[in-house]
Amino acid sequence: MVEKTEMKFDPEEVIVEFEALTKEAGKVQEETLQKILEENGATEYLQQWGLNGRTDPQTFKACVPLVTHKDLDTYIQRIADGDPSPVLTGKPITTISLSSGTTQGRPKFVPFNDELLESTMQIYKTSFAFRNREFPIENGKALQFIYGSKQFKTKGGLAAGTATTNVYRNAHFKKTMKAMQTPCCSPDEVIFGPDFHQSLYCHLLCGLIFRDEVQVVSSTFAHSIVHAFRTFEQVWEELVADIREGVLSARVTVPSMRSAMLKLLKPDLEQADTIYNKCSGFSNWYGLIPALFPNARYIYGIMTGSMEPYLNKLRHYAGELPILSADYGSSEGWIGANVNPKLPPELVTYAVLPNIGYFEFIPLRVNLDGLEPTPVGLAEVKLGEEYEIVVTNFAGLYRYRLGDVVKIKGFHNATPELQFICRRNLLLSINIDKNTEKDLQLAVEAAARLLVDEKLEVVDFTSHVNTTTDPGHYVVFWELSGEASDETMQECCNCLDKSFVDAGYMGSRKTSAIGALELRVVKRGTFHKILDHFVGLGGAVSQFKTPRCVGQNNSTLLQILCYDAVKSYFSTAYC
């Protein structure tokens, strides 16, 4: 029955269901919490808090504490080690998701179950239904730069892999994509290949083989799309040769990948000539994606937060092709769907689906007594206010602080539409200064404008708080597309320093409580090394996010950055 239902996927029916859910968002939230607690009330974790069978929001909030992953780590580890008792959930957890690990330097274990998979499919279907109203697609293919990491068995025999891998490997996901008329043009052997460099090459080749059928170009994150087409610039002639001769490049050595690709690859002189002529005609690769894929309707992926710095380059490759931001979630679960697909990524909002979890919101203002404000429910948030999200889901997370800061930008019926602001814990701070990931991004954007005259760009960046010096100071690492003059780089360094407009930072710089900002330029390919390191730890390229602030505990990344630094500049902005 499931397969028949999916094959008859009706976008308008999905929208009708979404409208009904969001009109009664408050009531649906209470019902969702009741269902979660009825299913899991007998677990060891919930039993200790004295709920005694009660499932109402008031009792739940009064009894069960707010937690972070650190508070649940031992419970999750017991499940991973094979504890058969109902530790966090009534039903056994059979799969563990790994978070990206790019924030803390190591991935976290997060429980994953069928309910989370169902919520993933609900999010996908909902956003697709609204997207398809504005940008309808017919039977075609999606060029998806997706990569499954290796799954492994935990000590207790549970399958463990990144959240994206757990989804991509599921037959339900493939059926849903097929029903939505956007099956991936790459075979599984490419998606789950053991070498992502070879997988990327094959993804590009598959896209070119099916170039007239490709209607969507996508990846989990914008970074992966930009990385793919930066790579295309380097290997396009080799790809064209493969198509012309019908012979796969020797760079692809994985037997399963070669076998799968050779089934698709046939000599096509006409197509090869067309692609060659298009690529030869480019001076700066502007509009590359629509030139390669003439029937593409849009580019799709997560574009917010740490992905925003890649938007300019993505727009360059996209030309006039629309760029649509994907939905809002994390390894711990989904939050909301993009139901306003025409909004540009910088303004995108996410409508919370009230039946996929129970959500609370901690106001960011500080009470007069200095205590953190009490979390409010989904139906109690106020327009224009900023909050930290708290999640309770069907996979054993109860009042879990996600660490994301969002702003209420509006409402879809009775459910809030959220704008992602930043990660709350990603702060550059030495004493009273507090600069977020967004503050860093704005500073880099301002300084990068000084590179335009030299026709250079910032390929990628990150930062670090160096407290080994006295006073401590900010270090910003840049990888550039070419070599800039020392004079220009010194101007960039000063601009970075001046662009942090937090009052605590400016005051501390003026009084020398914080030292001069340092800008270090790293070798070309340094951030690729960081990606390789992440993949080597078992991560999936699809889930990779460049860490925007590298902490002292992330020693390997710091070593890569410091070893590859070729030039260093100190700000004279406050001298």
At 279-335, the pLDDT tens digits run 988 888 999 999 999 999 999 998 887 777 788 889 999 999 999 998 888 778 888
Residue type, 305: G
Q: Are 286 and 430 in contact (CB under 8 A)?
A: no
pLDDT above 70: percentage of residues in the chain:
90
Report residue 421's pLDDT band, with 50, 70 and 90 as the boundaries: confident
Burial bucket for residue 174 (CB in 10 Å: 0-12, 13-18, 19+): middle
Of residues 541 and 239, the one with the higher pLDDT is 239
Decide if pLDDT at 339 tops 50: yes
Decide if pLDDT at 6 tops 50: no
What's the pTM?
0.76
Give whichever of 50-64, 136-150, 199-213, 321-335 has the largest mean pLDDT: 199-213
pLDDT at 91 (0 to 100): 85
What per-residue string of b and e applies to 343-379 under the rule 16 or more CB within 10 Å gives b? bebeebbbbbbbbbbbbbbbbbeeeeeeeeeebbbbb
Q: Strand 323-325 and strand 298-302: pairing? A: parallel
CA angle centred on 422, ends 31 and 173, rounded to 5°: 55
At 214-231, the pLDDT tens digits run 999 988 888 889 889 989
Report residue 125's pLDDT band, with 50, 70 and 90 as the boundaries: confident
Q: Are 305 and 419 in contact (CB under 8 A)?
A: no
pLDDT average, residue stretch 130-135: 89
Pairwise CA distance, residues 473 & 494, whole Å? 14
* Mean pLDDT (the chain, rounded): 84
pLDDT at 103 (0 to 100): 47
* Nearest 10 degrees: Cα torsion 315, 316, 321, 322: 10
pLDDT at 166 (0 to 100): 64
pLDDT at 232 (0 to 100): 94
Query: CB count, 10 Å around CB of 487?
Result: 8
Report residue 376's pLDDT band, with 50, 70 and 90 as the boundaries: very high
At 98-110, the pLDDT tens digits run 765 544 445 678 8
